A and B are shown apart, each in its own frame.
Chain A
Amino acid sequence: MEKPEKLMVDGKRLDGRGPEELRPLKIQAGVLKRADGSAYIEMGNNKVLAAVYGPRELHPRHLQQPDTAVLRCKYNMAPFSVDDRKRPGPDRRSVEISKVIREAFEPVVFTKLYPRSGIDVFMEVLQADAGTRTAAINAAAVALADAGIPMRDLVSAVSVGKVEGTIVLDLIKEEDQYGTTDMPVAMLPRKKVITLLQMDGHLTQDEFERALALAMRGCEQIYEAQKAALKAKYATKPEEE
C-alpha cells in the first residue's frame, strides 16, 4: 500500500467521507445453518462473520466452572483477508484481540445462568480494511442475540483516530497505517459505558475526550443497525401470516 500524499483534502477523507461519518454498514443476522447464532457484517470494506455455539458442555472439562458459564471468544483472520498473505493460525495480535473482545462481552452476557457450560464466539475476518476488531464485536453481539443468549445489552464498537490533526470516526486502512492514532472503543449502548478501550498513537487530553465522545456517537448509530438486523430476521413477513 503506497502512502497517499494527503489523507484529507478540504475536510474530506480518501473515500469521500467527512471526519465524523461512518462507512457504509450492512449487518445480517442468522447467516449460518449449524451455528446456534450467527451474523455477517460489512463495515466499509471489512467483511466479518461471527458464530456462536452454546451454551454447551465445556471441553476440556477441567475448564468448567461450577458457578458460571465460560465465555470464549476467538478472533481469527483468514490468510487472504489482507494484502500480504497472513500465516494461518493465531498470532500474538489475534490472541490479544480475542482477550479484549471477551472482556468487552463479559459484562453483558448472563454467564451465571449456565454453570459448567461454555459459550463460544468465533469471529472470522474474511476481508480486512482497518477496524476489524470493532466489526467483529458488532457481528458477535448480533450473533449472541441471535443465539438467544440472555444479555443485559448489545455491544457496539467503532474505532476513532487522529489523521493529520483531525479526529475522525471509523478509520480505513490508509488512515490506520499513516494516521497518528487508532483508538477502538466498545460501548454498551443503553447504559453508555465502555467495555473495550485501546489506543496507540498520540492524543492530548482534549483530543482524547473529543475522540471518546465521537466514538460513542458512532456506536449509537451502529446500535441502530444491529437492532434493525435482529428485527429483520425475526419480523413476520405478510405472506407467512
Chain B
Amino acid sequence: MYEIVSSVKRDYIADLARQNKRTDGRTLDQLREVSVESGLIKSAQGSALVKIGNTQVLAGVKVEKGEPFPDTPESGVLMVNAELRPIAAPTFELGPPDENSIELARVVDRGIRESESIDLDKLGITPGEEVWMVYIDLHALDHDGNLLDASSLAAAAALWNIKKPEVEGWTLDQFPVQKKPIAVTVVKIGDKLIVDPSLDEENVMDARLTITTTEDGSICAIQKGGTGYLTVEEIKAAYELARAKAAELREHLK
C-alpha cells in the first residue's frame, strides 16, 4: 500500500514534524475537514459517504437472512469487508483482497464487534436455523491517506443510518444499534505524533497506532502498524489524542 517517496520529501516531512509543522499547514493534532453524508444509496439498508480531506470512503450495510454460527445459534452475524479498488489509488490492484484491505476490514470489524455496537442477540429469527446477517461493505473511492479512520467513521455512520430495515420478515421496531465506536489513527514520524495522516505522511511514517474508543472514552480495539516501534509514553499520548479526536469525529454522527 505504501508508495515510494523520494528521500527529499521524506526529509522535508520529517523536518517539518520536528518543528511541529505539516506540509498542508495543519497542526500535529488537527484533522482535515470531515464530512459525512448518510443514506445516499437506496439499495442498501444503511449507507454513508465519509470524506476526510480528499479521502473518500463509501460504506453500505445490507441486512439479509442467513445461517447463524454453530457456537452462537441465537445471535445475528456481523461481517465487515473492505475493497481497496483500483479506482481509489494508482497503487491499488485488481484481485483478491490483499493484507492491507484484510487488516482494514478486521480493524473496523473489531471496533464494532467489541464495543457491541450492534445488539446481535436481538437479531435471531429461528434459533440454530435463521438469523439476520449484517454485512458492512467498505468501498474506498479516493485514497489520500487515513483510509482507516474514514472507513471506521463510514461504517458507524452507515449503521446509524439504518432506520427500520425494509426487508421481508423484519419484525423489530428499529435496527438494534447502540454504540458509536470511532477509530483514530495516530502516526509517529521521528519522535512526533500526528493525527489524520495525509498520504505523504502515511508513506513516510515510522509506526501507527489505531485506537478505537466508545462514547465513555474506554478502548474497544487497538492495532499497531508500520515498521517502527512505539515507546510506552508514545502509546499513552496516542491514547489521549485518540480519545479527544474520536469525540470530534463523533460529532459528525449526530
- A binding-site residues for B, Cβ under 8 Å: 92-93, 95-96, 98-100, 103, 106-107, 183, 188, 191-205, 208-209, 212-213, 216
Interface string of B219-254 (1 = CB under 8 A from A): 111111111111110011001000000000000000
CB distance from B235 to the nearest CB of A (A): 6
Residues of B within 8 A of A95 (CB): 99, 102
- C-alpha spacing A195/B114, complex, angstroms: 23
Most chain A Cβ neighbours within 10 Å, of B105, B114, B222: B222
In the complex, whether B217 has a CB less than 8 A from a CB of chain A is yes
Assuming A193-B231, A200-B221, is B114 touching A99 (CB within 8 A)? no
B118 nearest CB across to chain A (Å) = 15
Give me the 3 closest cross-chain CB pairs, A-B, nearest first: A106-B227, A199-B222, A197-B224
Q: Which residue of B lies closest to A196 (CB)?
A: B224
A92 neighbours in B (Cβ, 8 Å): 97, 102, 105-106
A203 vs B115: C-alpha distance in the bound complex, in angstroms?
Answer: 10
**Contact residues in A for B115 (Cβ distance below 8 Å):** 202
B10 at the interface (CB under 8 A from A): no
Q: Which residues of the other chain, B, contact A212 by a CB distance below 8 angstroms?
A: 232, 235
Give chain B residues whose Cβ lies under 8 Å from the Cβ of A100.
103, 223-225
Q: In the complex, what residues of B have CB within 8 A of residue A202's CB?
A: 114-115, 218-220
- Does B232 contact A201, Cβ atoms closer than 8 Å? no
Closest approach, in angstroms, between the C-beta of B94 and any C-beta of chain A? 17
Looking at the complex, which one of B102, B225, B230 makes contact with A193 (CB distance below 8 Å)?
A: B230
Q: Is there contact, CB below 8 Å, between B239 and A197?
A: no
B102 cross-chain contacts in A, Cβ below 8 A: 92, 95-96, 99
B230–chain A nearest beta-carbon distance, Å: 5
Contact partners of A195 in chain B: CB under 8 A = 224, 229-230
Tell me the bound Cα distance from A98 to B103 in angstroms: 11
B209 within 8 A of A: yes
Known: A193-B229, A194-B224, A197-B224. A203 touches B218 (CB 8 A): yes
Query: Is the CB–CB distance between B221 and A199 below 8 Å?
Result: yes
Minimum Cβ distance to chain A for residue B153 (Å): 19
A selection of 18 A-B contacts at a CB cut-off of 8 Å is: A92-B102, A96-B99, A99-B103, A103-B226, A193-B232, A195-B230, A196-B224, A197-B235, A198-B224, A199-B221, A199-B223, A200-B113, A202-B219, A202-B220, A205-B219, A212-B235, A213-B232, A216-B232
B160-183 vs A, Cβ < 8 Å mask (1 yes, 0 no)? 000000000000000000000000
Interface of B toward A, CB cutoff 8 Å: 97, 99, 102-103, 105-106, 110, 113-115, 209, 217-232, 235-236, 239
CA distance A211 to B89 in the complex (A): 38
Contact partners of B224 in chain A: CB under 8 A:
100, 103, 194-198
- Determine the chain B residues whose CB is within 8 A of the CB of A204 once the complex forms: 217-219
B222 touches A103 (CB 8 A): no
In angstroms, Cα B233 to Cα A219, docked, is 18
Is A208 in contact with B239, judged by CB distance below 8 angstroms?
yes
Residue of B nearest to A108 (CB): B229
Instruction: Provide the bound-state CA to CA distance between A150 and B196, in Å.
Output: 35
Look across to chain B and name the residue whose beta carbon is closest to the beta carbon of A186.
Answer: B224
Q: Which of B114, B218, B229 contacts A188 (CB 8 A)?
A: B229
Bound Cα distance A202, B225 (Å): 20
CB distance from B242 to the nearest CB of A (A): 11
In the assembled complex, the Cα of A198 lies from the Cα of B219 at a distance in Å of 11
**Could you tell me if B218 and A99 are in contact, using CB atoms closer than 8 angstroms?**
no
Given contacts A191-B229, A194-B229, contact A98 B99 (CB under 8 A): yes
Min CB distance A210 to B, Å, is 12
Chain B residues with CB under 8 A of A200: 110, 113-114, 220-222
Whether the pair B229, A199 counts as a contact (CB closer than 8 A) is no
CA gap between A188 and B99 in the complex, in Å = 24
Cα distance A201–B105 when bound, in Å?
A: 17
